[in-house]
Amino acid sequence: MLDALLPILIFSALALAVIGAVRRIRLWRQGRPSPVPVIQGLAAMPRRYLVDLHHVVARDKVMSNTHVATAGGFVAAAVLMILVHGLGFANPLLGGLLLAASALMFVGSLFVARRRRNPPARLSRGPWMRLPKSLMAFSLSVFLLTLPTVGVLPEGTGSGILALALAAVLVWGLGEMVFGMTWGGPMKHAFAGALHLAFHRRPERFGEGKRSTGLKALDLNDPKAPLGVETPSDFTWNQLLGFDACVQCGRCEAACPAFAAGQPLNPKKLIQDMVVGMAGGSDAHYAGSPYPGKPVGEHAGDPHGPIVAREGTALVDAETLWSCTTCRACVEECPMMIEHVDAIVDMRRFLTLEHGNTPGKGAEVLDNLIATDNPGGFDPGSRLHWAADLNLPLMRDVGQVDVLLWLGDGVFDMRNQRTLRALVKVLRAAEVDFAVLGNEERDSGDVARRLGDEATFQSLARRNIATLSQYRFQHIVTCDPHSFHVLGNEYGALGGVYEVRHHSTYIAELFEAGRLHFAPWKGGTVTYHDPCYLGRYNGEYEAPRNVLRALGIEVAEMARSGFRSRCCGGGGGAPITDIPGKQRIPDMRMNDVKETGAELVAVGCPQCTAMLEGVVDASAEVRDIAELVADALVERPAHSGHDSARDPQPVAEARSVVKEVTP
Amino acid sequence: MRPEVDEVKKPKQSALEVAVLVSVGRHPVTGRARRADQDARGVELALTLDEARVTLLHAGALDEQSEGALRGYLGMGLPALTLIEQPQGADVLDALAGTLGDARPQLVIAGERAEQGEGSGMLPYLLAERLGWPLVGGLAAVEKVEDGVATLLQALPRGQRRRLQVRLPAIVTVDAAASAARQSAFGPARRGAIETEAAAMTWDEAMPEWKVSPARKRPKRLKIVKATSARERFKAAAAKAEGGGGQVLTDATPEQGAEAIFKLLKEEGVLR
């Protein structure tokens, strides 16, 4: 009896799955067109899955092994099941392999079940809670049904009530694993995820050490091109596909600083809301942690309706989008390679460019950027006032240098001016041929872009590129990772290609080349805070640590450091939009510092300095790497000096002696 | 005045016709063209009125700089702006008076003064005189409009407010006491239409003869506080900066009024 029943069950499940797939693909295709290399993408998919995706999953060893067993077992079991039971290739070898595959899958599902017994808060419940049972139903029933095939049980066992019961369990398993894969349900992640990897919007991010973090430029020349994303169907189709691939593992939620601070953002919920919007409906069925302070079930949307309502509620509230610090912790953690930050900025663009609804001080900052080229509204002619006594060489005068020192908007901030002075001192001690743009420099456009004002970003960027094109330099060095990221990764699309280095990278190079000499470190314990825009955006984790090591400092690492560094709260215009939460992000970060027992936290970003120094009753002092380096500078060993008359210089007199050298 | 205009207006009597006069502003730090702050507040006021049909009017020349500034107003969410074309150096009074006289809006809103050019703040008054409409300055809000009478809230120094009723049509001006203008968005600004209208042109005869030089900071009037206690300091800070003299004339004849003004000017040393 089963010999007749099994092929019918298997092929009807497959047929239903194909219908479901067509429906699902039509949901994705509601999005805007985005050309992808189909064949190339599909060909690259296995590698992206086995290497890139697994690299992220493997950060949790138990879960990664569980997934290998369950998913590997399932794929093998499904293929073999079609051969053995569907097409009737019932030879003992295939049957034996099928037994092994389903047994492996069963072992995996035991681990899935164990994890589901007391799931951490970040995991979604709801249908996900039945997944281990479904996995077991599938693997067990396939295993038992295959036993007669290999002759362990006599052929006749496949009849009677027992066999019918077994077939019923198999129907459950097939329903979840095959039918559910395309009709929605936990297994949807396998189908959507595989295609998402193949047709990812940023194919350049896959591969060893590769990253793609610059935001995509809007086409402002075409008056018909939409300005950002208003409705779910305004996303590109492969963005929608990416949202649909989410496994709701909540790793993003666990990493998100805004969620931890109690601001109304949860990256996982946001992605699920986009899925709700794409299919139409309300978020009532969402079974994970909500946006802090926002109960589930009050928001609904449809593919062609607004995501954010001008008044009242729609799919998502604006403050959810404005809570994001664009720190990319969610993107870094996402095993499905979903691009949360792209989506958030896309939606912000619409709010700013079409609604004119940037919250907090957003409107004022953008007006200042338009009128004065800096967010504070300062006189652009006063950019070099902080350096009135430093006699900095100007690009306008020299025209050609090795290093163009990009100062950033920190020139207007008295705290950051100390960092800049220290950096100038270091560059002069290493006799670097450098110059600054002075009053010709403008804001890089970072804040404008993260606040969604692509028009102001492009205006600033184009004018900066025009200025830079007048001069010749080897590379740009800056102490602002935000400028670093924008100049290095985002100006390229507008025609400005530069080699940009963070000052910590450059100082490390100078030290390697023997051009800097440091006195041994005499201070207390030091920890280092990785700026998001240096670390996750640009992959520079080592250089700052190398510099600290060169200073003789042994870094007491925080629990969250390197690619898991927690944001200071200063990125993405978050201090400007200032969405209230239960606690402040920099306070949490300073607590991380406190846990290491460090007396000093070294930073490499003016935003981080400002945010962390703003923490009341902090246990540690905040110093930029440039300041630590400048303090530790000592005269070079006498034999290496080429100008003995004025070269060996005590630290205290360094500045005045250096000054004489300047033309 | 013109019968055909009246006929067109009649079916839309429920909608309040509001015209906002907007100028090209100048940023105080960089001098870049922008939407003028007070005029933008005027547009904001118009946009918050119930059932108002708002038209934007600008008299001037259209070039790259001024277009950016004018589009700044459109970015507040208006579909179009009417540009009455006037070359540099023209006196826009005639053109504006002509257009307003033809369109006959019920309420005209303007900023107190322009941010560049003559910036005398006289334009609304001259317009009111030419059209024969009442003018209310320093407006904080329009509370309601009923049966052709508007109830207005006028801002006085130190946060005081005065409620006024004025029969429409009228001209009102706003200054920094009115609510701040909403953000100007790029999309609507780019889409908005600038509809050009030709108009008669009068040269400003006096302007070319003037010598323009950068303004100097005016010295502040010293306020001597002889307080010895916190209470007195507070009273001094909260007190009105009054000259002490001055008088209120009620039911005075024009001659009496002129005499009082003449006397005051002599006292203050303006006339000798």
pLDDT digits (tens, 9 = 90+) for A578-608: 999 999 999 999 999 999 999 999 999 999 9
Compute the nearest-CA separation of B12 from chain A (Å): 27
* Tokens at A418, concatenated: 């100390």
Spatial separation of the C-alpha atoms in residues A636 and A645, rounded to whole Å: 13
* Residue among B34, B61, B46 at smallest CA distance from B196: B61
Place of tokens 């369109």: B103
The per-residue pLDDT for range B202-228, each reduced to its tens digit, is 888 888 888 888 778 877 777 666 778
| Count of helix runs (H) and strand runs (E) in chain B | 8, 13
User: CA-nearest residue of chain B to A368?
Assistant: B27
Among residues A470, A513, A489, A488, which one has the least CA distance to residue A406? A488
B210 to chain A, any CB pair closer than 8 A? The answer is no
pLDDT of residue A557: 95
Residue A536, Cα to own-chain centre: how many angstroms? Answer: 7
Using an 8 Å CB-CB cutoff, list chain A residues near B29.
371-372, 377-380
Which one of B186, B190, B191 would you mutate to disrupt binding with A, by most A Cβ within 10 Å of its Cβ? B186
How does residue A177 score in pLDDT terms, banded at 50, 70 and 90? confident
Question: pLDDT value at position B14?
Answer: 65
DSSP string, A473-521: EEEEEES-HHHHHIIIIISGGGT----EEEHHHHHHHHHHTT---BPPP
pLDDT higher than 80, residue A537: yes
Confidence band for B160, pLDDT divided at 50, 70 and 90: confident
Q: Do B29 and A377 touch (CB under 8 A)?
A: yes
3-state secondary structure (DSSP) of residue B19: strand
Chain A residues near any Cβ of chain B (below 8 Å): 223, 227, 352-358, 362-363, 366-367, 370-372, 377-380, 453-455
User: How far off is chain A from B243, nearest CA to CA, in Å?
Assistant: 36
Lowest mean pLDDT among A35-39, A463-467, B5-9: B5-9
Q: What pLDDT does B240 receive?
A: 66
Instruction: Please name the residue of chain B whose CA is at the shortest distance from the CA of residue A224.
Output: B191
Q: What pLDDT was estimated at residue A339?
A: 96
Distance CA A315, CA A282 (A): 8
Q: Is B240 exposed, middle or buried (0-12, 13-18, 19+ CB in 10 A)?
A: exposed
Question: Which chain B residues touch A352 with a CB distance below 8 Å?
Answer: 183, 185-186
Option in B30, B76, B187 nearest A354 (CB): B187
Band of the pLDDT at A659, cuts 50, 70, 90? very low
**Nearest-angstrom CA–CA distance, B82 and B73:** 12
Sign of CA dihedral B145, B149, B151, B154: positive
Can you give the three-state secondary structure of A97-112, one letter per residue? Answer: HHHHHHHHHHHHHHHH
Residue A633 DSSP class: B
Which pLDDT band, with edges at 50, 70 and 90, does B130 fall under?
Answer: very high
Alpha helices in A29-128 (DSSP H): 38-47, 54-57, 61-81, 92-117
Say what the pLDDT of residue B13 is. Answer: 52
- Which of B29, B183, B190 is the closest to A356 by Cβ? B183
B43 lies within 8 A of chain A by CB: no
B186 touches chain A (CB under 8 A): yes
Mean pLDDT across A101-108: 94
The yes-or-no verdict on residue A657 having pLDDT over 50 is no
Q: How confident is the model at residue A533 (pLDDT cuts 50, 70, 90)?
A: very high
Report the pLDDT value the prediction gives residue B244, as an integer from 0 to 100.
60
Inter-chain residue contact B186 with A453, CB threshold 8 Å: yes
- Least Cα distance to B201 among B82, B117, B85 occurs for B85
Q: B191, A223: Cβ pair inside 8 Å?
A: yes
Model pLDDT, residue B180: 94
B187 touches A: beta carbon within 8 Å: yes
Per-range mean pLDDT, top range of A20-34, B3-17, B146-160? A20-34
Taking the Cβ of residue B76 and every Cβ of chain A, the question of whether any pair is shorter than 8 Å is answered with yes
pLDDT score recorded for residue A180: 86
| CA nearest to A130, candidates A68, A74, A186 | A186
Give me the interface pTM, i.e. the ipTM: 0.86
What whole-number distance in Å separates Cα of residue A288 and Cα of residue A273?
12
Average confidence score pLDDT of chain B? 86
B185 interfacial to chain A (CB closer than 8 Å): yes
CA A34 to chain centre: 21
Q: Report d(CA A332, CA A561) in Å as an integer.
A: 13
The radius of gyration computed from the CA coordinates of chain A, to the nearest angstrom, equals 29
Q: Which two tokens stand for residue A221?
A: 């020349």
Could you name the CATH architecture of B3-209? 3-Layer(aba) Sandwich (3.40)
User: Which member of B29, B34, B185 has the closest CB to residue A353?
Assistant: B185
pLDDT at position A330: 95
Q: Mean pLDDT across chain A, nearest whole number?
A: 90
Domain ranges of chain B: 3-209, 230-267
Find chain B residues with C-beta within 8 A of A357's C-beta.
Answer: 183, 185
In the DSSP assignment, the letter for residue A130 is: G
The whole-number pLDDT of residue A184 equals: 85
Q: Cβ of A357 and B183 within 8 Å?
A: yes
**pLDDT score at A650:** 42
State yes or no: pLDDT of A646 exceeds 50: no
- For residues A426 and A424, give the distance between their C-alpha atoms in angstroms, rounded to a whole number: 5
Task: Using the CB atoms, write b or e for A532-561: b if 16+ within 10 Å.
Answer: bbbbbbbebbebbbbbbebbebebbebebb
Is A26's pLDDT higher than 90? yes
Q: Is B191 on the interface with A (CB under 8 A)?
A: yes
Chain B residues with CB under 8 Å of A358 CB are: 183
Pick the residue of A311, A369, A370 with the most B CBs within 10 A to test the interface with B by mutation.
Answer: A370
Q: What is the structure's pLDDT at A88?
A: 81
- A vs B, Cβ pairs < 8 A, gives 50
Q: Do A371 and B32 touch (CB under 8 A)?
A: yes
The token pair that represents A36 in the structure block: 């992808």
Is residue A419's pLDDT more than 80?
Answer: yes
In A324-469, alpha helices (H): 329-333, 340-350, 362-372, 395-398, 414-429, 446-450, 454-468
* Phi, psi values for residue A288, rounded to 5°: -115, -165
**How far out from the chain centre does Cα B140 lie?**
12
CB B63 within 8 A of CB B156: no
Chain A residues whose beta carbon lies within 8 Å of the beta carbon of residue B32:
370-371
Which among A219, A353, A358 is the top mutation candidate for probing chain B, defined by the most B β-carbons within 10 Å of its own β-carbon? A353
Question: What is the pLDDT confidence band of residue A5, given thresholds at 50, 70 and 90?
Answer: confident
Of A77-86, A545-554, B157-166, highest mean pLDDT: A545-554
Residue type, A530: D
Q: Give me the pLDDT at residue A334, please.
A: 95
Residues 6+ apart with CB under 8 A from A220: A454, A455, A458
Residue of chain B whose alpha carbon sits nearest to that of A226 = B187
- Phi/psi zone of residue A552: left (φ > 0), alpha (ψ -120 to 50 degrees), beta? left
The whole-number pLDDT of residue A158 equals: 53
pLDDT bucket at A311, cuts 50 / 70 / 90: confident
**Does B27 contact A371 at a Cβ distance shorter than 8 Å?**
yes
Give mean pLDDT, residues A25-54: 93
Who among A356, A362, A380 is closest to B75 (CB)? A356
CB-nearest to A352 from B76, B185, B190 is: B185
Q: What is the pLDDT of residue A621?
A: 95
B186 and A455 within 8 Å at the Cβ level: the answer is: yes
Residue A640 banded pLDDT, cuts 50, 70, 90:
very low
pLDDT class of A164 with cuts at 50, 70, 90: confident
Write the pLDDT tens digit of every residue in B42-95.
Answer: 999 999 998 889 999 999 999 988 999 999 999 999 999 999 999 888 899 999
Band of the pLDDT at A166, cuts 50, 70, 90? confident
State how far residue A266 is from chain B, nearest Cα, in angstroms. Answer: 28
> From CA B132, how far away is CA A89, in angstroms rounded?
100
